[in-house]
Structure 1
């Protein structure tokens, strides 16, 4: 009798554990009326190299995919202080889907044919943000091979935070353009280093501002801020 066990096929992805599934978001918070009505929006654009500098099929021909994250945020200064942290654990798996991008004019103009949508939210009892992540490609093969782990913070080539109050009046709280670094700004905390998926500023950009951020956190924890 052969007592040898068969190992999983090479390259076969294992399903998430039951405990991991229990900790994930159960609903797509962003789709609710409560979250859609929030005035604070944060958008981040990510892509493989080269960094996109303009729209158009010709220029984007070298890109395998392009990702756009749009978040609704309850408290933007809090998100800046705490950092924008997310991973696959923040995804509501049951709400993910593949869609036809040709019905979305902006995506169609950029030459994308299909997209995959993910819905994310901050974990915990008091989530501060909920988001939709749209990954665009020219064929289903590229989408089928894409994994959220392919995304890295350094792939963010543009980002901005906007407050709409009252709509359609809006003002910018934050702006980042990798190709136009002299125009980057944080209207709330200036050059305070921010963590996670915030692309700028980082500690290496303003090492002298690290103590400033620590001071802000301490004041917030002690209840002496605002």
Structure 2
């Protein structure tokens, strides 16, 4: 036998008829993916195996801010405030966030549930910057508390209701962290009622009509619907 025969050919020559049949079936199965390469004459053939972990990216629909002055004016009342990620600014949590919701009728959000997903985000309205530059909803003493906890960077989301036109509610979500890396990895879709450490809702007269604190859940109250279970980001009372 010619000793100059390449090792691959030697292996093929030693294969049994059953081995040859398996090899033929394998080549036949891959043939459809090779046809476009053969026709185009690409210099490199396609990979022999598909990537077991293909990367997929959702194409986001970029929607402009709705023309509803009530919701985005500085004088619009905050109807619902949620504290997320931690009970307050501290160094033990990687991030701390607050969601300020503006709406005309807080009772609708109680009856229907308050659900927030990435579909509610106005992506072209968001920004990342220093906490002292972005955070404007509370006085500077609270801003200083956030910065003293190490969370000197803030990511802001602008959200709106997608079920009605004009939207029943709009909101600002501000996420605070030490670095932009934490903020860029934050995913709104992972937020649930389990992340809510505090919540307050306000009636038309500005008085508190709903209160919840994870530190003292026994003192929670809802003066409109008492202990009616609510859905979405409402932390108390829960259906589940």
Q: Which residue of 1 aligns with 2:143?
A: 107
Q: Give the alignment partner of residue 43 of structure 1, picking from 76, 81, 88.
A: 81
Runs of 4+ in 1 over 4 A off after TM superposition: 5-13
| 1:4 aligned onto 2:42 | no
RMSD: 2.7
Q: In structure 2, what is the Cα distance between the partners aligned to 1:157 and 1:61?
A: 16
Q: Which residue of 2 aligns with 1:90?
A: 120
Shift, 1:8, TM fit: 8.4
Q: In structure 2, what is the Cα distance between the partners aligned to 1:9 and 1:131?
A: 39
Q: Is the 8 A contact 1:28 1:119 kept in 2?
A: no
Shift, 1:152, TM fit: 2.3
Q: Is the 8 A contact 2:200 2:212 kept in 1?
A: yes
Q: In structure 2, what is the Cα distance between the partners aligned to 1:93 and 1:7?
A: 33
Q: Give the alignment partner of residue 14 of structure 1, picking from 33, 52, 57.
A: 57
Q: Is the 8 A contact 1:40 1:76 kept in 2?
A: no
Q: Give the alignment partner of residue 27 of structure 1, picking from 50, 62, 65.
A: 65
Q: Is the 8 A contact 2:63 2:124 kept in 1?
A: no
Against the structure 1 CA distance between its residues 64 and 163, is the aligned structure 2 distance closer, same or farther, given a 3 Å change threshold?
same
Question: SS where residue 174 of structure 1 aligns?
Answer: strand
TM-score normalised by structure 1 residue count: 0.72
Q: Which residue of 2 aligns with 1:210?
A: none
Q: Give the alignment partner of residue 153 of structure 1, picking from 193, 196, 218.
A: 193
Q: Which residue of 2 aligns with 1:116?
A: 155
Shift, 1:107, TM fit: 3.2
Shift, 1:11, TM fit: 8.1
TM-score normalised by structure 2 residue count: 0.68
Question: SS where residue 195 of structure 1 aligns?
Answer: coil
User: Rg: which structure is higher?
Assistant: 2
Q: Is the 8 A contact 1:114 1:136 kept in 2?
A: yes
Shift, 1:38, TM fit: 4.0
Matches within 5 A, 1:152-191: 152-163=192-203, 165=205, 170-191=206-227
Q: Which residue of 2 aligns with 1:78?
A: 108
In the TM superposition, what whole-angstrom CA distance separates every residue of 1:103-134 from its partner, at most 9, and x where no partner exists? 44323312220100000010132421100000
Question: SS where residue 61 of structure 1 aligns?
Answer: coil
